[in-house]
Amino acid sequence: MNKAVTVYPAVIDSLISNPGIGFIAAPGLMGDIGDVYDNRGEKKEKYKFTEDSSTYNHPDSKVYFCSVRWKDVEIEKDVYRWEVLEEKLDYAKSIGCTAVVRCSPYALNEEDDIPDWFRAENPEEPEFPFWRVDPQTTRYVDYWADFIKAFAIKYDGHPVISSIDLTIVGAWGEGGGTEFLKPDAISCITDAYLDGFKITPLQALLHDPMSMGIITDRKEKVGFRVDCLGDMGGFHGEEWSHMTDFYPQNIQNFKMENAWEKAPVLFEACWHMNDWYLQGWDIDYIIQETLKWHISSFNSKGTIVPEPWKENVKQWLKKMGYRFELRKFSYDSEVRAGGNLDIAALWANVGVAPIYNHYPLVLKLRSHDQAYTLYSREDIREWLPDEDIAWEESFSIPSDVPEGEYVLEIGIETGVKEIGNIKLAIEGNTDGYYQMGKLLIKRG
């Protein structure tokens, strides 16, 4: 009785920006700015990646890096000023971005010290250059784990946070000296993260075999981050580099080669991309390695992309993270109120990583004066790249839907108005929804 309609959406090849993936936003290069300079202070000609870009000499983005210091949040033991983080999350949302969040225990400058109340307990600083407090002779491990537990209670599942850095010790939370800790100390901190964050994805620094072994033994969903992408010999010339002598080996050695299937892989530039360019490093090699490692996002530290690399970076962005193509969509064009709407579709994820946040896939029924949202049971986090994604589902039409003709749309909702829906790599985007065709609803 029902008449099936099949639609073949037109796939697009243009750049699209989506939450949680791509280059980390560069606010200093956005909007109505003056001259553009590289990281060495040299003035550069302005350019944009697309005609409607809001960012100069750098891609537009839907993900922002939010870092807060422990001392600014926990002003007294167990007394928290979460508004320090809230302000940064509000800013991320205001520019249409989700946020990668890092809580940093301390850094190297005196103003980046441990909390004042903790410093009062331990006035002496250790000799180790990347510690401001000795985690082995003080209560650092207990206090930091307590902070992480409180952080998780407050923020697990926060709609603006796309993922969280798992920080253990060291300046900026970058892990310096983790290898000197006892396993129980590492477990105390990592357990606080793994037990606390059950919804929001985590990524751990690819730093040392002991901490990574403790994390992987838990068999939880944890991705990884690295902080010196691009280094092709900046520390030791041709003798050693991160790109050829650390990352490829230790992604395997630390058993993180499949971590990307369940949690994100993030990279930060070693120095700046402009330094790579001036050194003559092979951008295509760097890009291809990251795609092989299933990159989701890249922190360029808010500095320019050298214009000769614009096209290389555009191709990189089209593969970075997830990119969903809807290739075929079939549905019943006539249904009854209180009955079922059967759909069948073929999707493809042509990026190199899945999506890690549980955003709902929805159908929207729109008439001239009403709209109804039907939520799918599909978990799009399981849409891995390089696999055919066949989706079939039957949706119940509410019995109180008025008779008449509706436009049938499809979308993936983030639930945050300022961030908007996930963009698909097909034509027809209208406020984050894509029209599939007309649907007639009858009664009786």
Strands 202-205 and 222-229: parallel
- The residue with tokens 């697309």 is 50
- pLDDT at position 3 is 81
At 289-327, the pLDDT tens digits run 999 999 999 999 999 999 999 999 999 999 999 999 999
1, pLDDT greater than 60: no
Task: Please give the domain boundaries of the chain with CATH numbers for all domains.
Answer: 4-14+324-442 (2.60.40.770), 22-318 (3.20.20)
Segment 374-390 mean pLDDT: 96
207 pLDDT exceeds 90?
A: no
Close Cβ partners of 207 (under 8 Å, ≥ 6 residues apart): 174, 175, 178, 179
Q: Please provide the size of the chain in residues.
A: 444
Mean of the per-residue pLDDT values of the chain: 96
pTM attached to this predicted model: 0.95
Contacts of 373 by beta carbon, 8 Å cutoff, 6+ apart: 362, 363, 364, 365
